[in-house]
Every structure is written in C-alpha cells, then in structure tokens.
Structure 1
Amino acid sequence: MPTSPHDRRIDYVEFVVTDIARARSFYAQAFGWTMTDYGPNYCAFADGRLEGGFTDIGTPMPGGPLVILYADDLAAVQAAIEAAGGRIVKPVFDFPGGRRFHFTDPDGYELAVWSKG
C-alpha cells in the first residue's frame, strides 16, 4: 500500500547528454520546459508536472526506457521538435486510444509524443 502520493510513481527522468546547453535549448524551445542550472555539470528541468535533469557526467545511453510525452496538438509539437533540431524517426501512427510519433533529440535519445485520437 502506498505511503505517500509520490510512492511508486515516476518522479524524475535524467538524461546523460554530451552538451548541456544544447539539451537545455532543445527542450526549452520544443516543449517550453523551465530550466534551473546547478553548476557546470547539471541542469534540472520541469514541465509543470514531471521533473528531471541533464548531466554531462557519463555517457549518453540512447535506447533506454521510452519516455512518452502527451500533446493536445500533435502536429504543433512535431513542428516545434523539428524547429528545435529534433529528428522524427517514426512518423505519426494510430494506435488504440490515440496517435503518436517518435523522435530523437540532439544526443540520440528516442522519445515519443502521443495525443488522444
């Protein structure tokens, strides 16, 4: 039985990146996330619901768990991702419950964005 509202919930997502400034710029431009710098090797982000961070300590590990974001307007988010330098790797497709596409960020992490169909 959970003991707090945060128990057993996704709480934080951390990406090892090669260039914190580039990651910071990409996610701020594509999604409007807010950023807080904690020294030269760490930048925290917040999207209004979930928090995470970017660090350049370590090696980027594209191919880890798939992080999926939600969008009210799938086309607008796809355009923002492409304008920020992201690359669409799976075009929009239908699935039970909605539509989604996959993209890679500048470090090669693959993420997905979905919307109710």
Structure 2
Amino acid sequence: MRKTGKLDYLEMPAGNGSLPEVKHFYEKAFSWSFTDYGPGYCAFDEGLDGGFDGNPENPKPLPVLYSDDLEETQRVVETAGGRIVKPIFSFPGGRRFHFTDPAGNELAVWSED
C-alpha cells in the first residue's frame, strides 16, 4: 500500500546514449525486465520500482516519494524548508514536483492521476 512520504520509486541516470547498454547490463547481470516509455526512458520493477532516464540533463539518481495529496505535500515541503525546483507537472502515470532538501539533494514527490 502506498503511503505519503514513503520511498516509492528511484530514477537512475543513463545519459549519453547509454540506455541500451544499461538495460543490457541489468538484464544479463540480474535478469531484470523493462517497460519502455519512448526511446529515452525505461522502467523496472525489481523490488523497489524504478527506471533509467536517458536524458543527459539528469545526471544523478532521483529518489521519488509518494503522496496521497500532492498539493498538500508540496505545501508541507516548502514550510519545512524545502525549495521547489520543478512545480507540479503531469507525466505518464500521474503528476509530480521536484524539490531540494537543505543539503541540496533533489527528490521528487508523485501522485496518481
């Protein structure tokens, strides 16, 4: 069951054209399977859901938390001292926003449509 604030997804970088090699590696090394969402993104479901992002502008892992109420969670994040770096936007499967914590780590929070 999804709960607000629980780590729910992990996006990993696979930029510079390395997405096919990354998929091949995890398929061979750990028997992972993937769902492709266009040429630049694939998702995996291997215990913790996650995906590889082929966009070179996203060079770091991105922990993604879940929220039952995205607007309220964004408000709470801001009140607690987080800095919103990408306001709420839609993506395939739901909506999300990105923020940085006081240490500068970027995280995202998502909610289903």
Q: Normalization by structure 2: what TM-score?
A: 0.48
Q: Normalization by structure 1: what TM-score?
A: 0.47
Higher strand share: 2
